[in-house]
């Protein structure tokens, strides 16, 4: 199983990148493979995923798109 997550933050909270890292750590059990994350330049939104590869084609998967 794979998992995806989104973090949003305004300027009064922690940066979205920091929130995303804690979410990805909590989701690690759902994706035994690679972890990917992306944050915008203002660090207000961040996307992330943990991947589990089951098929040979899964090695080409790059998330988040």
pLDDT digits (tens, 9 = 90+) for 3-49: 888 888 886 778 888 888 888 888 887 767 778 888 888 889 999 88
Q: What is the CA radius of gyration of the chain?
A: 13
**Torsions phi, psi of 29, nearest 5?**
-65, -20
Into how many domains does the chain fold?
A: 1
- Does the residue 22 lie in any domain? yes
Number of CB atoms found within 10 A of residue 45's CB:
15
Structural domain boundaries enclosing 45: 3-60
pTM above 0.85, yes or no: no
Quickly list H helices, the chain. 16-26
């Amino acid at each position: 199983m794979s998992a995806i997550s989104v973090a949003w933050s305004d300027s009064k909270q922690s940066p979205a990148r920091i929130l995303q890292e804690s979410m990805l750590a909590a989701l690690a059990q759902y994706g035994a493979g690679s972890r990917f994350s992306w944050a915008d330049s203002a660090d207000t939104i961040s996307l992330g995923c943990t991947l589990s590869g089951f098929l040979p084609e899964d090695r080409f998967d790059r998330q988040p798109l």
